Amino acid sequence: MALAPSSFTPGSLYIAGFTQARAPHVALLISQDARSGDLVHIRIDRTVSPTWQYQHRRQKITGDMFLSSLLKIHDVSAGEITVQQLQDAAGAVPVPDNDHFGECGPWVFKVVEELSNKGLVTLSNAAALQEEFNALAQGSRAFARRDKFPNVAVSQYCI
Protein backbone atom coordinates (compact mmCIF):
# COMPACT_ATOMS: atom_id res chain seq x y z
CA MET A 1 0.00 0.00 0.00
CA ALA A 2 1.38 3.43 -0.95
CA LEU A 3 2.18 5.86 1.83
CA ALA A 4 0.69 9.33 2.09
CA PRO A 5 2.88 12.01 0.49
CA SER A 6 4.39 14.77 2.65
CA SER A 7 1.85 17.27 1.21
CA PHE A 8 -0.95 15.29 2.92
CA THR A 9 -1.70 16.60 6.41
CA PRO A 10 -4.21 14.92 8.74
CA GLY A 11 -6.82 17.40 9.97
CA SER A 12 -6.64 19.51 6.80
CA LEU A 13 -9.51 20.27 4.39
CA TYR A 14 -9.41 18.94 0.83
CA ILE A 15 -11.48 19.04 -2.31
CA ALA A 16 -11.74 15.35 -3.16
CA GLY A 17 -12.04 13.95 -6.67
CA PHE A 18 -13.46 10.51 -7.33
CA THR A 19 -12.72 9.01 -10.74
CA GLN A 20 -15.86 8.07 -12.66
CA ALA A 21 -16.63 7.20 -16.27
CA ARG A 22 -17.58 10.72 -17.46
CA ALA A 23 -16.21 13.33 -15.07
CA PRO A 24 -14.88 13.20 -11.51
CA HIS A 25 -17.32 13.28 -8.63
CA VAL A 26 -16.39 16.19 -6.35
CA ALA A 27 -16.69 16.44 -2.56
CA LEU A 28 -15.08 18.08 0.48
CA LEU A 29 -13.08 16.02 2.96
CA ILE A 30 -11.54 16.70 6.36
CA SER A 31 -8.96 13.98 6.90
CA GLN A 32 -8.71 12.35 10.31
CA ASP A 33 -5.57 10.48 9.32
CA ALA A 34 -4.26 8.77 6.18
CA ARG A 35 -6.88 6.04 6.48
CA SER A 36 -10.14 8.02 6.66
CA GLY A 37 -11.92 11.31 7.06
CA ASP A 38 -15.29 13.06 7.02
CA LEU A 39 -16.83 13.67 3.60
CA VAL A 40 -19.58 16.11 2.65
CA HIS A 41 -21.07 15.99 -0.82
CA ILE A 42 -24.26 15.75 -2.81
CA ARG A 43 -25.30 12.62 -4.62
CA ILE A 44 -28.23 11.04 -6.36
CA ASP A 45 -29.53 7.78 -4.93
CA ARG A 46 -32.55 6.98 -7.07
CA THR A 47 -33.77 4.49 -4.45
CA VAL A 48 -34.24 7.43 -2.06
CA SER A 49 -34.93 10.40 -4.34
CA PRO A 50 -34.65 11.23 -8.04
CA THR A 51 -32.79 14.48 -7.21
CA TRP A 52 -29.55 15.50 -5.52
CA GLN A 53 -29.31 14.89 -1.76
CA TYR A 54 -26.78 16.19 0.77
CA GLN A 55 -24.72 13.55 2.56
CA HIS A 56 -22.12 13.49 5.32
CA ARG A 57 -20.28 10.22 5.86
CA ARG A 58 -17.01 8.65 6.89
CA GLN A 59 -14.75 8.16 3.87
CA LYS A 60 -11.93 5.69 3.42
CA ILE A 61 -8.80 7.41 2.01
CA THR A 62 -6.06 4.79 1.81
CA GLY A 63 -7.14 1.90 -0.38
CA ASP A 64 -10.23 3.52 -1.90
CA MET A 65 -10.34 2.60 -5.57
CA PHE A 66 -12.25 5.70 -6.72
CA LEU A 67 -10.75 8.49 -4.56
CA SER A 68 -8.03 9.64 -6.92
CA SER A 69 -7.26 13.28 -6.05
CA LEU A 70 -7.07 15.54 -3.01
CA LEU A 71 -6.52 19.29 -3.38
CA LYS A 72 -5.63 20.83 -0.02
CA ILE A 73 -7.54 24.09 0.47
CA HIS A 74 -6.84 24.61 4.17
CA ASP A 75 -3.96 23.28 6.26
CA VAL A 76 -4.74 22.43 9.86
CA SER A 77 -1.63 24.42 10.92
CA ALA A 78 -3.59 27.60 10.03
CA GLY A 79 -6.33 26.57 12.48
CA GLU A 80 -8.71 23.66 12.71
CA ILE A 81 -11.91 23.55 10.69
CA THR A 82 -14.29 21.22 12.49
CA VAL A 83 -16.62 18.77 10.83
CA GLN A 84 -19.50 20.78 12.32
CA GLN A 85 -18.23 24.00 10.72
CA LEU A 86 -17.93 22.21 7.38
CA GLN A 87 -21.45 20.79 7.74
CA ASP A 88 -22.81 24.25 8.67
CA ALA A 89 -21.26 25.79 5.55
CA ALA A 90 -22.55 22.93 3.39
CA GLY A 91 -26.00 23.32 4.91
CA ALA A 92 -26.05 27.00 3.89
CA VAL A 93 -25.71 26.08 0.18
CA PRO A 94 -28.93 24.84 -1.43
CA VAL A 95 -28.82 21.40 -3.01
CA PRO A 96 -29.84 21.46 -6.71
CA ASP A 97 -33.45 20.38 -7.23
CA ASN A 98 -32.76 18.37 -10.39
CA ASP A 99 -31.04 15.23 -11.62
CA HIS A 100 -28.57 16.81 -14.05
CA PHE A 101 -25.14 15.20 -14.24
CA GLY A 102 -22.27 17.32 -12.92
CA GLU A 103 -23.99 19.39 -10.22
CA CYS A 104 -21.63 18.15 -7.49
CA GLY A 105 -18.70 20.34 -8.60
CA PRO A 106 -20.55 23.68 -8.71
CA TRP A 107 -22.14 22.86 -5.34
CA VAL A 108 -18.74 22.10 -3.75
CA PHE A 109 -17.25 25.36 -5.02
CA LYS A 110 -20.23 27.29 -3.58
CA VAL A 111 -19.52 25.61 -0.24
CA VAL A 112 -15.87 26.71 -0.53
CA GLU A 113 -17.10 30.28 -1.13
CA GLU A 114 -19.32 29.95 1.96
CA LEU A 115 -16.31 28.75 3.98
CA SER A 116 -14.43 31.81 2.71
CA ASN A 117 -17.33 34.12 3.65
CA LYS A 118 -17.21 32.64 7.17
CA GLY A 119 -13.46 33.32 7.38
CA LEU A 120 -12.56 29.63 7.60
CA VAL A 121 -10.54 29.49 4.36
CA THR A 122 -8.81 32.20 2.34
CA LEU A 123 -10.08 32.03 -1.24
CA SER A 124 -8.22 34.35 -3.59
CA ASN A 125 -9.71 33.31 -6.94
CA ALA A 126 -12.76 31.03 -7.21
CA ALA A 127 -12.54 30.50 -10.99
CA ALA A 128 -8.83 29.67 -10.82
CA LEU A 129 -9.49 27.23 -7.94
CA GLN A 130 -12.01 25.38 -10.11
CA GLU A 131 -9.55 25.20 -13.01
CA GLU A 132 -6.78 24.05 -10.67
CA PHE A 133 -8.95 21.27 -9.25
CA ASN A 134 -10.22 20.16 -12.67
CA ALA A 135 -6.65 19.87 -13.98
CA LEU A 136 -5.59 17.85 -10.91
CA ALA A 137 -8.61 15.55 -11.11
CA GLN A 138 -8.23 14.94 -14.84
CA GLY A 139 -4.56 14.09 -14.38
CA SER A 140 -5.20 11.72 -11.48
CA ARG A 141 -6.90 8.78 -13.21
CA ALA A 142 -3.82 6.60 -12.65
CA PHE A 143 -4.32 7.05 -8.88
CA ALA A 144 -7.74 5.33 -8.98
CA ARG A 145 -6.31 2.09 -7.58
CA ARG A 146 -6.48 0.38 -4.21
CA ASP A 147 -2.68 0.23 -3.99
CA LYS A 148 -2.12 3.96 -4.60
CA PHE A 149 -2.68 6.90 -2.27
CA PRO A 150 -4.73 9.64 -3.97
CA ASN A 151 -2.81 12.29 -5.91
CA VAL A 152 -2.32 15.19 -3.49
CA ALA A 153 -1.66 18.83 -4.34
CA VAL A 154 -1.82 22.10 -2.41
CA SER A 155 -3.98 24.86 -3.85
CA GLN A 156 -2.46 28.13 -4.97
CA TYR A 157 -5.85 29.85 -4.77
CA CYS A 158 -7.33 28.71 -1.47
CA ILE A 159 -5.38 28.26 1.75
4 occurs within a structural domain: no
Tens digits of residue pLDDT in 102-125: 899 999 999 999 999 999 999 999
Picking from 31, 64, 52, 38, the residue whose alpha carbon sits closest to that of residue 106 is 52
3 occurs within a structural domain: no
For residue 74, pLDDT over 70 is answered with: yes
Confidence (pLDDT) at 1: 55
Alpha-carbon distance 133 to 130, whole Å?
5
Confidence (pLDDT) at 99: 84
103 occurs within a structural domain: yes
The number of distinct structural domains making up the chain is: 1
- Per the CB < 8 A criterion, the answer to whether 130 and 73 are in contact is no
Q: Residue 101: which domain range?
A: 13-154
7 occurs within a structural domain: no
159 occurs within a structural domain: no
Confidence (pLDDT) at 21: 65
59 occurs within a structural domain: yes
Average pLDDT, the chain: 92
Tens digits of residue pLDDT in 21-73: 677 899 999 999 999 999 999 998 777 778 899 999 999 999 898 999 999 99
Confidence (pLDDT) at 103: 92
Q: How confident is the model at residue 154 (pLDDT cuts 50, 70, 90)?
A: very high
